[in-house]
Amino acid sequence: MVTPSSGHPWEHSGKEDWMTRQTVLWPLGVAVGFLALIGVGASVAHYLQEPYNPGFLEYPTIVAVHVVLGGLYLTLAPLQFVRRIRSRHLAYHRRTGRLLVAIGLVVGATALFMGLVIPFSGWGERVIIGLFGSLFLIALLKGLAHVRAGRVALHREWMIRAFAIALAVATIRLIYIPALLIVAEPTDAQNAVLWDTSFAVAFVLNTSVAELWIRATRRSGTPRARKVKAA
């Protein structure tokens, strides 16, 4: 029996869920910020050293567009998920969102070109980039379609998925570089395996964490495709 002082069971559950999300939010935010910095740093480092992939020299314009816009995407996208900025500066959020979708489509298309036409490690990379590059573009387009239809909750979920895939370019480096140090002087075949494995693990890890976060923060008791009134 529930006494007046104890409150309703679902009230306690809601408070516990909120506290759990808040406990996870800060570490997750720090991790996302750290990965975004690594991704932006990788874009800058591209112009400070010789390209690791000789194929980049064959299509310098496409590579430059991908690198520059990719760095810009990783710089602006994290701010879109900050609730305080989104609630207080909705016009900025919308304008930046439109810009990020346009940038993301170009970044995704150039990533597919680079992964399929001039892969660093061969067919393994072609398959991985083809799969997750396509998923990135699909997530962006679905996120755009949902927000245009007023389905803000679903828009948020698909944009989280797209951003998680984009962040994998930083996660890859946190896996590949330590593995490269462990395997001293790897052969070309070993290097290709390390590279492909790093790609696969990074993409799967990032998308898995994104799905867990989406499910943990999805509001219960409300339709997933709930529409909001037009502003």
For the record, the structure tokens of 194 come out as 């390390």
Cα–Cα–Cα angle for 115, 118, 121, rounded to 5 degrees? 75
Q: Per residue of the chain (231 residues), give pLDDT as tens.
A: 334 444 444 344 455 555 556 676 788 888 999 999 999 999 998 888 888 888 899 999 999 999 999 999 999 999 999 888 888 999 999 999 999 999 999 999 999 999 999 998 889 999 999 999 999 999 999 999 999 999 999 999 999 999 999 999 999 999 999 998 888 888 888 888 999 999 999 999 999 999 999 998 887 544 444 444 443
Helix 188-217 to helix 9-45 angle, to the nearest 10 degrees?
150
What per-residue confidence (pLDDT) applies to 75?
A: 95
What per-residue confidence (pLDDT) applies to 21?
A: 61
What per-residue confidence (pLDDT) applies to 9?
A: 41
What per-residue confidence (pLDDT) applies to 4?
A: 41
Three-class SS of residue 196? Answer: helix
What per-residue confidence (pLDDT) applies to 19?
A: 52
**DSSP states along 174-190:** HHHHHHHHHSSS--HHH
Phi-psi region of 204 (alpha: psi -120 to 50; beta: other; left: phi over 0): alpha
pTM of this structure: 0.82
